[in-house]
Amino acid sequence: MNTRRLRKTATAYVLLLPGLGVILGFVGVVLYFAFAQSFGQYTFAGEDAWNLDSWRQLAGNDRFREAFFYSLRIATLSAVISVALAYPLALWLRDPFPGSTFAGAVLKIPYLVPGLVAAFLYVNFISFNGFINQVLERLNIIDSPIRMQNDDRGIGVLILQAWKQIPLALLLLVGAVRGVGNDIYDAARDGGAGPGSRFVHITLPMTLQTLQAAMIIIFIGAAGDFSFQTVAGPRGTDSLAQFMFSTKNLADDRNFAAVVGLMLMALALFGSLALAGATRLAVNRGRYSR
């Protein structure tokens, strides 16, 4: 029996090799070149030499520090806001009703719009002579246009990230909330649990893994965002992706750009894991505090 089970397990892994091997191969090559470049290799402009010069630049580089914490803030808020807005919609779409399929399809439309196109549309909407300013002027709410584009706090980027990522979170969460059986809710209702208590003690814990997955995916995408930040982001602050691009193309420092790239990957990995852990802690604390 054990031999047969081992054979099935081995067969499953063998079947995964074609796709998994290609993915791991490309990821491995990218990581190797980034790691090697960060230590002075593959400069393409001078002599290669293993050293820590590029890593030493991080300590006193204020632009990198600013870009790192800016990307961390944007990624964290994008994940939290997107999931917080998608969760009520997922609960609304949990039980089918007339028009629910159409409503779900409409809510997923932003996912089909390329990010750069969405950024340009948004900029036209909030620009100095855009739709919002024109409406406010015609309603005599303002006397002259207000500058809303490229705000210093990155609010425009957050709005774009939420608009773009809510459909993804909704796609994941709808399936999760539908997987919670009605018999569990009926039993809790018979026991005297109200809507809030059922949500905290049943819905959240049973959909926690999907909630974490949605936040991780959104966090990683927002941390490495380039298009939204370039078009609608603040002019005086770079994201890590922008900083890496300018370091490589404008300063022509491939080695330091590789260091920034590795730090961006570290932010995406450890930041998303920390966010997922904080989400689990918050859900469990809310669950057992009542």
Instruction: Give the C-alpha separation, 62 to 3, whole Å.
Output: 59
pLDDT at position 45: 66
pLDDT at position 287: 65
Q: Taking residues 86-110, report their average pLDDT.
A: 87
> What CATH superfamily is the domain 61-288?
MetI-like (1.10.3720.10)
* End-to-end C-alpha distance for the chain, whole angstroms: 47
Is the pLDDT at 115 greater than 70, yes or no? yes
Q: Any idea which of 229-233, 248-252, 255-259 has the lowest mean pLDDT?
A: 248-252
Q: Taking residues 63-68, report their average pLDDT.
A: 92
* Of 273, 279, 283, residue with least CA distance to 217: 273
Is the pLDDT at 289 greater than 80, yes or no? no
What lies within 8 Å, CB to CB, of 208 at 6+ separation is: 279, 280, 283
Q: Is residue 68 classed exposed, middle or buried when 0-12, 13-18 and 19+ CB atoms within 10 A define those classes? A: buried
pLDDT at position 275: 92
In the chain, where the domains are located = 61-288
User: In the structure, what pLDDT confidence band is assigned to residue 192 with cuts at 50, 70 and 90?
Assistant: confident
pLDDT tens by residue, 219-242: 999 999 888 888 888 888 889 999
pLDDT at position 2: 67
Chain position carrying tokens 């939204």: 228
Instruction: Give the C-alpha separation, 287 to 281, whole Å.
Output: 10
User: In the structure, what pLDDT confidence band is assigned to residue 78 with cuts at 50, 70 and 90?
Assistant: very high
Q: Taking residues 89-95, report their average pLDDT.
A: 88
Is the pLDDT at 156 greater than 80, yes or no? yes
Q: Taking residues 22-31, report their average pLDDT.
A: 84
pLDDT at position 46: 66
Tokens, residue 262 = 């590795």
Higher pLDDT, 78 or 193: 78
Q: What is the mean pLDDT of the chain?
A: 84
Is the pLDDT at 76 greater than 90, yes or no? yes
Question: Which of 28-42, 72-86, 152-166, 242-256: highest mean pLDDT?
Answer: 72-86
* Of 154, 156, 126, residue with least CA distance to 239: 154
Is the pLDDT at 99 greater than 90, yes or no? no
User: In the structure, what pLDDT confidence band is assigned to residue 111 with cuts at 50, 70 and 90?
Assistant: confident
Instruction: Give the C-alpha separation, 149 to 94, whole Å.
Output: 37
Tokens, residue 86 = 């998608």
Q: Taking residues 94-111, report their average pLDDT.
A: 85
